[in-house]
Each structure stands twice: as C-alpha cells, then as structure tokens.
Structure 1
C-alpha cells in the first residue's frame, strides 16, 4: 500500500482513550501527515448526532491534535470544515479503536461507526475500528495492533471512487489465533431488550441493554464472524432506504389518499 498524504483520526471514547493512541500509531505508519480531532470525553452511543444548537469548544492537545467538546460526528465536521487545514482534504478517516465490539444492533448506536459514516457522507474512505471482547477483562488491543495494518491494506483497493465506510471488528484472544478476514453483513437480533436500572439515589437511572450474542446465527453475520475467530468487515452505506420493502411496494409508485372519518 502506497503511503498516503493525510489521515484524520477520531473516536468516541475521548482524546485520552488508549484505543485512540492505537489508531494514531497505525495512521503514522500509513500517512505522512496525521490529524486528530477527538471528543474531549467519552461520547459512546451518540451515533451521528451533531451539536448544531450549542457552542462547540475545540482546544489543542499537541501538534495537529484537537479535543472537541461534542460528538464523534462533530469531530469529523470540525476537521473538514474548520480553518485548521485551510481546505486541505484527507485520504482516509480512521475512527477508533473502540474498546468493545460494534456489532449487530449496536452498529446503529455507535459513535465510532457514526464518525466513519459522517466522513463517508462527504465521499471519503472511512474505517471504523473496534476491539471486541467477551466479559470483564483488562484492556488489550494486541489483536488489533497485530492485524489492523493488514486489514487496511486489504480494504484500500476496494474503496471505490466515491467514498466508503467499512465497519471492522477484531476478535479477542491471541493474535496468532485469528482465522483471517471475513466480509460480513450487519444482522440484528443481539440486543434483546433495553434495561433501565437505578443509579444511586433520587431520580437517576442508567440505560443499558440485555444482549444475547448466540441469538444471531446467520453465517455471514458480523457477530458470528467474531465468534468464529475472524476479523469481521462490514461495508456500510449512508442511505437508509429499505430497498427490499421499496421494491415490494414499488419505487416511484403513487397512490391517492382518502381522508379517514374521525
């Protein structure tokens, strides 16, 4: 893979997150110039949310590194539209590395994926990187660090001419045990229900999910690839139309409307 000119790195865990440092190291292998725009704190679960009706604090945290008081998508917008690069563009956007998989139903909520989709909206190649794990464990990005450069090099020729968004998840375990790369689809069904529990006293509650990874059985599903020890790579698109249902009802079909009696 030929060395790139400029890469943007962001995440949803915050400017001081260890996974961001992992992504920065990868970016410095791949490009002559690396810019970091990351949230000032943890903004997980914000998807593609934007801070359109409030001030957006942006502070410098080192050379070409900025902390943004907003969402991951805000970070991408700030990098692309702000005065720092004087209109210069990026060859690639890397988002992550997230500690925890962004799989199945979680993809639609993920700030890591949201940042990559925000970049793809402007026809930039973007890759969301996540390190999956199962159960409580110490933070360990060794599998990601061992294989992420090879994954990016594999995906780069497949980027197309009008941007793309790849959602990449690495399995947890020994780096040498990784079975390979599997192209997958995002298949819902892992999140079984929301769960709201008290968080201390008063009116404070905490939102979480009841998950059942075993409920997803499609052999081409992202979560199944992780269970099988593969790096899961899912191509995502920015459009949200249900093409199957649209085909069933007829794209462009018109119908008269009749007012209903009250």
Structure 2
C-alpha cells in the first residue's frame, strides 16, 4: 500500500513567531506533505536575525499543542533544538520555514531569519525550504498563492532535484489565479541601498538609535533576479548554498599561486 505522503516527518518553524498567521499556513501545507508534522517556532518575533544562534543564554521551550512548541530563541535555534532534543536518532525529512509575512528577496536574503532557519537545517544535512509571501498592504495579506501552490512547488523540487537541499521560495502578492508559473532565480543586490538610523531618547532622557533599512526593489532589474520574477507574477524559486566561499575567486587564487609576504 502506497502512502499519500511525500515525507514521513516535517519540522515547521518561522521567524515571525509562534502566533504568526503565516505559520498556520505552513502547518497546513506541511500536513498535506507529511505523515507527522512538528512545529518549533520562536516565542517572539525574530525577524532579521539571519542564522544567529543563542550562546549566551539558555533556551526554554513551551508546549503549545501536540508536537507544537514555542522556543525562547532564534529560528536557527529552533531547528537545532528540535533536532538535538527530539530527532537525534531520526532527523526530519524536511524543514519548512515560514510562511514569512513579506518577501525575502535580493539583499534581504542575507538578513532573513526565515532563510537562516533553512540554512541551519542544510548545514545539518536536512533538506529545507523557506517560504515567504509578498504583500502590498501588511494587515491584508492574501495567503492564497502559497496555499494553492506551495505544496506542489515543494513536491516538484524534491522529485526533480532530490540532491538540492536548500531553497528560498517567494510568492507574488497576487490572487492565486493570476500566478503565471514558478521560475528558478538568482540573487542580485541593490534593493537595500543603505542603512538608516532614527535617533530618539528613552524615558530617562538617554539617547538611542533605531536601525532600519531604506528599501528600493525597483533598483533590481536583472531578468534572472528573484525580484523581477515576483514583480512579473512568478513564484521565485532560488537555490541556496551553505558555503560563503566564492568558489570562482578561490579557484582563480589557486591558479595564481601563493601570496608572497615578503
């Protein structure tokens, strides 16, 4: 008898927190793919923490239902904690991170906690996908595109490229019927031209600075970019890697030879 599921066990996490509406969307998607779904998500919003892990404070987990936990840590912590605490002998077949409230494209990929969770999983040899839903109005997000196509995109990626372990998937802010297709994309910078500091004073009169970014997605125009795919109504599917090494430059360096110090 064949199973209707592609996976035996899927772990779901995010960076928006355990109560985020996008997490519920990811849980439902995971339930259509796996016999067993576990959720381990940050207790609070952890957006922008990338692949950070907690080394200077303990981690605490709180049950929020059957196989569902909130963790006092980052998205990467959630993945590592779950694998070490519950799945040491049998890691999950897939990690799904998201669905993020807002796109993770261009420069934002480097800072995203949603993406950080899947890179952490891939470092441990577990296939992983980051899911993000772009929006036009934050308090009126339409999750229909990811609900309609998310599971199917994951199935096709796993079947066509089973050795690829890490993906960043972004859904356009469009009704599901207006989505054209999915497109393999690449990462190009230019959407965050510079950081900005907003100065203020706290209740004791002491100065502080609030860090934010000026976003300019219109600055990314390359035809193969993730930004252009979403702008043109396509689901952006970007393969990620765990290495930060620039392989082309490293190889060129080997060809040049040693760097003389004297």
Q: Same fold (TM over 0.5)?
A: yes
Deviations 1:188-214 (A, max 9, x none): 111111011135644233211111111
Following TM superposition, by how much is the alpha carbon of 1:117 offset from its aligned partner in structure 2, in angstroms? 0.5
SS in 1 for 2:107: helix
SS in 1 for 2:140: coil
What TM-score do you get using the length of structure 2 for normalisation? 0.92
Does residue 1:217 correspond to 2:221, yes or no? yes
- Any conservation in 1 of the 2:6–2:155 contact (CA below 8 Å)? no
Does residue 1:198 correspond to 2:199, yes or no? yes
Following TM superposition, by how much is the alpha carbon of 1:34 offset from its aligned partner in structure 2, in angstroms? 0.5
Following TM superposition, by how much is the alpha carbon of 1:4 offset from its aligned partner in structure 2, in angstroms? 1.4
Give, in whole Å, the separation in 2 of the partners of 1:105 and 1:6.
32
Following TM superposition, by how much is the alpha carbon of 1:150 offset from its aligned partner in structure 2, in angstroms? 1.4
1:1-262 equivalences under 5 Å are 2-82=5-85, 84-85=86-87, 87-134=89-136, 136-161=138-163, 164-198=165-199, 201=202, 202-250=206-254, 253-258=257-262
- Any conservation in 1 of the 2:129–2:166 contact (CA below 8 Å)? yes
SS in 2 for 1:42: coil
Following TM superposition, by how much is the alpha carbon of 1:131 offset from its aligned partner in structure 2, in angstroms? 0.2
**Deviating 4+ runs (over 6 angstroms):** none
- Any conservation in 1 of the 2:5–2:32 contact (CA below 8 Å)? no
- Any conservation in 2 of the 1:183–1:233 contact (CA below 8 Å)? yes
Give, in whole Å, the separation in 2 of the partners of 1:38 and 1:139.
21
What TM-score do you get using the length of structure 1 for normalisation? 0.92
Give, in whole Å, the separation in 2 of the partners of 1:47 and 1:154.
27
Following TM superposition, by how much is the alpha carbon of 1:156 offset from its aligned partner in structure 2, in angstroms? 1.2
The verdict on how the C-alpha distance between 1:98 and 1:73 changes in structure 2, with shifts beyond 3 A counting, is same
Following TM superposition, by how much is the alpha carbon of 1:133 offset from its aligned partner in structure 2, in angstroms? 2.0
- Alpha carbon RMSD of aligned pairs, Å? 1.7
Following TM superposition, by how much is the alpha carbon of 1:130 offset from its aligned partner in structure 2, in angstroms? 0.1
- Any conservation in 2 of the 1:58–1:66 contact (CA below 8 Å)? yes
Give, in whole Å, the separation in 2 of the partners of 1:231 and 1:200.
43
Deviations 1:38-82 (A, max 9, x none): 000000001110001211111111110111101000000001111
Give, in whole Å, the separation in 2 of the partners of 1:252 and 1:40.
50
Q: How many residues align?
A: 256
Give, in whole Å, the separation in 1 of the partners of 2:141 and 2:200.
25
Give, in whole Å, the separation in 1 of the partners of 2:173 and 2:222.
20
Following TM superposition, by how much is the alpha carbon of 1:102 offset from its aligned partner in structure 2, in angstroms? 0.4
The verdict on how the C-alpha distance between 1:205 and 1:223 changes in structure 2, with shifts beyond 3 A counting, is same
